[in-house]
Amino acid sequence: MTICNEEEVRSYYMKYVKHKGFGVRRKNSRQNDDEKIRWFTLVCVRQGTTKSQASNVLNPRQIERVGCKARVNAVLNEDGGYTLSSVILDHTHVCSSEKAKHFRYFKKVNARVAKRLEINDEAGIRTSKTFKSVVVEAGGGRYENVPFGKNECRNYINKTQQLRIRVGGVEALMSYFQDM
């Protein structure tokens, strides 16, 4: 199978991943001298085996690696597109499509909600209130209907606040302290 670019390979595989219910990470890749990626490998997040390096025994890593063999290898061809050279779809663990929304890749704040978060933040409305309104709008006040959580909203607001301070620099900081 031949696909035009790396982003299309990733989005094509992510559709399958979401349907099947597992997480994906990029294991390795190689680049040409002109910074074009020659080949890359996408694997299940539970691929490989490692000892836990968590400093706290009571708070282990979220995802345990169990030696899953699922992977997709994509190789750059002469046309500039990518050819899927090997595809392994067998997992050594249970996959759940209901739990797929808890993986990092699927917890993205969409553009409409992001704009609302920015406007409400500038108006002084708390992030928790904005998130609750998004949940109600998504369908009857059920948190399962929203593909992201309150923490993703807070992280987005923190990032936009940092960018606002960088753009205006000292003037923005002085006006912030004057408002306080």
Dihedral sign for Cα atoms in the order 91, 93, 96, 99? negative
Q: Are the beta carbons of 84 and 73 closer than 8 angstroms?
A: yes
- Alpha carbon distance 8, 72 (integer Å): 13
Residue 70, pLDDT > 70, answer yes
Residue 167, pLDDT > 70, answer no
Q: Are the beta carbons of 151 and 107 closer than 8 angstroms?
A: no
Tell me if the pTM is above 0.85.
Answer: no
Residue 82, pLDDT > 70, answer yes
pLDDT confidence bin for 102, thresholds 50/70/90: low
- Alpha carbon distance 83, 37 (integer Å): 13
Domain segments of the chain: what residues? 2-95, 111-179
Q: Which helix (H) or strand (E) holds 170?
A: helix 170-179
Q: Which helix (H) or strand (E) holds 139?
A: helix 127-139
Convert the pLDDT of each residue in 8-62 to its tens digit. 888 888 888 877 888 788 887 788 777 788 888 888 877 777 665 656 666 665 6
